[in-house]
Each structure stands twice: as structure tokens, then as C-alpha cells.
Structure 1
Amino acid sequence: MSGTGGDSGRNADRSTDRSIGDGPASPAPSAPGAVSPAQSAPGGPGGGHAASAVPDEGPRPPSWRALITGLLMALVMATIMVTTYVSAQHAVVARDLPWGVTGSSPLTTAVQEHISLKIHHYKDQAALEDAANRTEIYGGFVTQSNTVVIAEAASLVAPGQMPALYEKAAKAQGQHLAFKVTNKLPKEDPLGVVPGIAVFVLLVAGYLGSTLAMQRTGTAAARRRVLSLIGYAIVAGLVFDVIIGPILDAYPDAGTNFWPLWGEFTLMCLAVALLAATLQSLIGPIGTLLTVVIVVFFGNPSTGGVNGTAYLPAFWQYLGPVLPPWNGTTLVRNTLYFDGNAITQQLIVLSIYVVVGAALVTISTYGHLLWWRGTKRRPPISPEEEGGIAAIPPA
């Protein structure tokens, strides 16, 4: 009995010791940076409500400077877009429209009073039609037979405008005309819009692929990025080709045109992806927005669309051939509707974008071109810096 009572006393003493040790006088060891109950209570010990470890409990006040800066950037981008698209397409007026003739005629002289033509001379109708098939001219006039020849796939405007002007001149001079259409648009694409749509999608796929690769890797110039983009472009080109051709039947002779278009789609997508990767490597995430400005805001309007580049203002006629969209659209259109003629220049320009872009991205991966940044490594890219991903305007 006495032993039991002694044990009870000792247990009570130990319980008392633990109670005293748990009190404020003997705080338990805590991890560095931990907040004690006394510190967390707003009124000291026993203050009632627990406070957050972060001193500022409420929502952070908006940064008006950041908000205004973001809105101004959006306004600048939209201003650039409305200026480029409207200035390129608001007036469908021919400027130096390439036109073939087989000799002088008062009818051509009369037509030139109403439209700007760049005259090319050919010996006969066969040579003129061959030149139209090589995309040198939009059509022509055969003096010997009073025949107006039109290359339909070159433009949607010229096939209606040029015959009407010649017919008006012929009526005034009491002459009769004949008409012939070459390079007709197929039933699969009666308006000739497929090349432009396909290329626009490839533009978006190219810079989105590069941007999302940058986002996922956390750096604008990850090693093996060029090889990754090459694989991506090959797969994207194949997917788009299968959808546009065999599945949707949106271009003629899918069995014949499928293989060259796969290569052209791949080249187009890769050229834009490496352009974006180069700019992102050299100037950071803002390179995405710059890519959008180059290929979408300036490049897309410079293609001329279904009207043809002859109906663009002079500035856009000179700009288009140095940018990927014009070369891609012309490459696809000539492959489909002009027997694959006159595509050498387009292949060379797009290949230059690929080779130069791959070289610059590879070199900048190892920092050789980033001397202005010093030896400091670029920090990870934050989601806020990837705003260019959302800047996808309509075609």
C-alpha cells in the first residue's frame, strides 16, 4: 500500500513538472523563423485571435504603375496591328501589276489609263501562258487574237478587273475579245484561301511552340532546344498536312501534294519557331511579343492574301519577300496551283531563317552572345513575362 502511494506521489510530481515545462517560462525549441503563440497573438499572450505569419493580412493594394504599364503595352500592340492591317488592305488598288503582252495594242493603252501595269513582252500566246504558270505575270493580252489571258490563282481581284477593263476599251473601239483562264482554282479551294490559312496556323504554331518550350524549361535557351523544335516542327507539319489534305480534302491531288507540303509546312513552322527562340534567347521573354509583331502584325498583311501582292501598297510589296509569311504563302500557293514553279527563292529565304536561327540559339545557349548580361545567369521566367502567349490576333 505504501509503495502504491509513493508511486502516485511521484507520478503527480512528474505531471506537475510537465505542466510547468509546458508553460510560457519554458518554451519548446522551435525551427528557425517560427512564430511563437505570444508573437502571433495581436494582444500578446492570450490575445485571442491568431494572426498570420505575414505581417500584412489584407489583400495587397494594386500597383497602379504596373496596371497602367500593362494597359499601355496592350494599347501599343493593338495600335500596331490596326495600323498594319488597315494600311495594307484598306484600298485594293493595283500597283505595277505584272501583265504580259505579245505586241502593242490600243486596247492595252486604254486599259493603262485606269490601272497601273508593269508590262512584260512575249513572242506569242504560248510563251505568255508559260510565264503566267511561272507566276511572272497575273495574265496578259494576246494582240494577234485579242485574247485576254488570266491566271486565276494569282489573284481574286485581277480575274474580274482586267477582263472588265479590256471589254470596256474594246467596246469603245468597236472590237471583239476572247478570254482564256489558266491556273484555275480547284473545287476544293475555289477562293484560294487555303495557302494563307495554313501558313497563318503555322505562324502561330511556330512561335507558340518556342514560347511554351521556354516556359516549361524555365530558360529561354535550353540545351537541345533546337533539336526539340525540329522534332516539333516535323510532327506539327505532318498533323496539319493530314488534317488539311486527306481529312478535310481542302487542297487538290492530296496523294501527289501531300509529301511536298509536309516538308514545306515543317520548314515554315521551324523558321518561325527558331526566329522566336532566337529573339527569346537574346532579349528574354519580350522576344515572344517581338516575334508576334514581326510575323503576325507585319508579316501576315504583307502576303497580300487572296488579292495578290500587286494590290498592296509599295511598302508592303518590298517588305513581304524578306519575312516568313509571304515566302510561306507563296511557296504553298505555287506548289498547289502553279505546278511547283517559282519556289526557289522562298525555299532559300525560309532555310536562311532556319540555319541562322539554329546557330544563334545554339551559341546563345552557352552564353557566347550574351556578353552584355555579364556572367550572371538569367533568372527563371515568371508567368507574367509570358504575356506574349496570349497575343494571338485573328487572321
Structure 2
Amino acid sequence: MPDTISPALRDGPRARPPVVDPPAPRRPVWIRPVLFPVAVAVAIGAIFISVYLSAFHAPGARDLPVAVVGTSAEAAAVAERLPENAPDTFRVQALPDRETARTAVEHGEVFAAYVPGPGAPELFHAGAHGPSVSALVTGSFGEAARADGERPTPVDLVPASDQDTRGLVVFYTTFGLVLAGYLFGIMTFQLGPGLTARRRMVSLAAFGGAGGLAVASVVSAFGALPAPFLGVAGLVALVAMAVGAFTMLLVRSLGVLGSSAAAVLFMTVGNASSGGSLPAEFLPGWLEPFSAGLPVGVGVRAVNGLAYFHGDGVLSGVAVLVGWTAAGLGGLLLVERLRRRARREA
């Protein structure tokens, strides 16, 4: 008997193909590598110009420490005769005698000291603070003396080197290895991605020592800084190691963003607040604290103190720079340990 059963009934219901949702539109793979660098670079540029315009578009001193030889009442009387267009420019204190005033200026405790006398008054100041500071104090105290019909005699107790006509040698001496330390912190991972943390520390020490000796040699060749060779080499080496160590930590922790963060921290904020072109008292209130905390400003003050002001700022600078180096290396070791643990657990 022929098979009269329909093939559809004999074989049973056919399985329907699964319903597949249409593929979601894929984001082009070029968006991140094209737009992310644009965003980061524009942000860094905007931060750079904002910081520098804030610091230097109209710099003016605030609470610049100066002194008047005499009683507190006599110091207050001189302060009242200072120019009225800058009421917060100076912080005036009284000193008992001429020799105390001289010592205070020579050690960087005050920027100027006004010494009244039976004859023409004197104005002690330090040209090593830079021409802008000298012009400010001589002009302001000259105006105060003219109110009494007198004309003070400026006495530069700490002149800058004859080879440093613009007062920038200390800044360039220090900042050269800040830039180099930043580049070192990036290159050590680019050229040696597989290096152990211990070998990176050895490399950092070699970089700091060689860099300090190189900078001190160049400065000595120009004869532009009256400071001991080994002292300059040691301070510059500490600055280089502090910046290099912390840059390594940021790059290892954050990758590309870490290098950008280091650029903003050391190259932008650090440079602007360094006190290399103007003392920290000329910075805006929000920026001034960075001068005493970041390696650049600390290094500038230490090198300047070593050269001109009987070591003012050297010990505190060494302590801060060692702290930055220890924090960078300690953080790097911690990051490496956590990543090794994560790999073992995976």
C-alpha cells in the first residue's frame, strides 16, 4: 500500500531557526586613539596657561618680610609711609640694631632692612633675590624716606653673581634635572618594561648621581653660581631622584594618565611655583604653598640658600626631597607587590 502520509506529518514539525537580534552597531575602533590624546593634550594646555596667567599676568608681593631698625612704634611709622597702592605688600618687623638687620638680610630672613640714622638712612637688601625684588624694596622704601625729606642709600649685601645678570641661574640649575627626571620616569618603562623594581631603583640612583655631577660641572664651567661643587651636585641629584621616583609611581599606577599627571604636577605647577623668576611671596595665595612642597620650589630655595644665604633652606629641602623619593619608591614597590599577588590569584 502506498505511503499516503504527508512528509510534513511523518517527519513531525520542523524546528524553526532561532531568532537572532541584529548586531548592535559597533563603535569605530579609532575613536579612542584619536579623541583621547586630543582631550588629554587640550586639558594639559588649558591647565598650563591657566596656572601661568594666574601666577604671572600681574605679579605682586604679599607679606614680603622686611625690617626696620628701631622700636615697634618706629617700625610702624615707617610702614605707614610705604606706598598706599600696595598695603599688603610688606610684613614689617622691628629689629634692635644695625648688625642684627645686616645678619637677617644676609641669611635670607628678611628681604630688606631699613636703617634710619643721624645722617642719610640706609637700605640693606640682597640682589641675589633678583632684580624685581631689589626694584620693589628700593622704590618703596625710597618713597617712604622722601616723606621725611630723606633719601636712603641702597646697600646690596648679597649681590648676585656677575655672570648671572638676570638672576635665573639658580632656576635653570635646578629645573634642568626636573625635566630630565620626568623623562627618566617615562623612559624606564618604555625601554625596560620587564625590569624589576630593584633594578629600576639602581637605575634611578645612577641617573641622580650622574645628572647631579653633570649639572654641577656645567655650572662650574660658566662660573655663574658661587656655591660648592659637591653641594650643587648633591642637591640637584636629590631633585632629579624625587621627580624621577614619583613619575615612575604615577606611570606604573595610571599608565598614560600617569605621565600626564606628572607633567601637570612637576612641569606646570612645579615650574610656576618654583620661585625661580620671582620669590614665592609674589605668587597667588592658592599657588604659594606648592613652592614649599614640590621638589622644584624646594630645590630652587635650597640651591639659592647654598649659594648666597648661608645655607638657608638646605636642610629642610633635603628632608622634603628625600621624602618625595621615598614616597615614590615605596609606592612603586607596593604597586608591584599588589600586581604580583593579583597574577598569582588569577
Q: Which amino acid aligns with 1:361?
A: L
The 5 Å alignment of 1:246-325 reads: 246=221, 248-252=222-226, 257-325=228-296
Match for residue 117 of structure 1 among 82, 87, 90: 90
- Please list the CA deviations of residues 229-285 of structure 1 after superposition, one character each: whole Å capped at 9, or x if unmatched: 111110111112112212x33323xxx611111111111100100011111222234
The 5 Å alignment of 1:1-395 reads: 63-103=30-70, 104-105=74-75, 106-111=77-82, 113-115=84-86, 116-144=89-117, 146-219=121-194, 222-246=197-221, 248-252=222-226, 257-365=228-336, 367-368=337-338, 370=339, 374-375=342-343
Larger Rg: 1
Residue segments in structure 1 that go unaligned for 5+ positions in a row: 1-60, 378-395
Residues 1:79 and 1:309: Cα distance change in structure 2 (over 3 Å): same
Displacement, 1:355? 1.9
TM normalised by structure 2 equals 0.83
Displacement, 1:79? 0.2
Residue segments in structure 2 that go unaligned for 5+ positions in a row: 1-27
> Aligned partners of 1:210 and 1:318: how far apart in 2?
25
TM normalised by structure 1 equals 0.73
- Please list the CA deviations of residues 271-321 of structure 1 after superposition, one character each: whole Å capped at 9, or x if unmatched: 100011111222234212111111111111012322211111111212211
Task: Using the aligned pairs only, state the percent identity.
Answer: 24
Q: CA RMSD in A?
A: 2.4
Contact 1:230 1:270 survives alignment (8 Å): yes
Displacement, 1:172? 3.2
Contact 1:138 1:155 survives alignment (8 Å): no
Name the counterpart of 1:21: none
- Please list the CA deviations of residues 135-154 of structure 1 after superposition, one character each: whole Å capped at 9, or x if unmatched: 12111212346221111112
Contact 1:221 1:277 survives alignment (8 Å): no
> Aligned partners of 2:195 and 2:39: how far apart in 1?
25
Residues 1:73 and 1:257: Cα distance change in structure 2 (over 3 Å): same
Higher deviation after alignment, 113-122 or 87-96: 113-122
Contact 1:210 1:276 survives alignment (8 Å): yes
Residues 1:120 and 1:344: Cα distance change in structure 2 (over 3 Å): farther
Q: Which amino acid aligns with 1:88?
A: A
3-state SS, counterpart of residue 233 of structure 2: helix
Residues 1:208 and 1:220: Cα distance change in structure 2 (over 3 Å): farther
Paired residues, number:
311
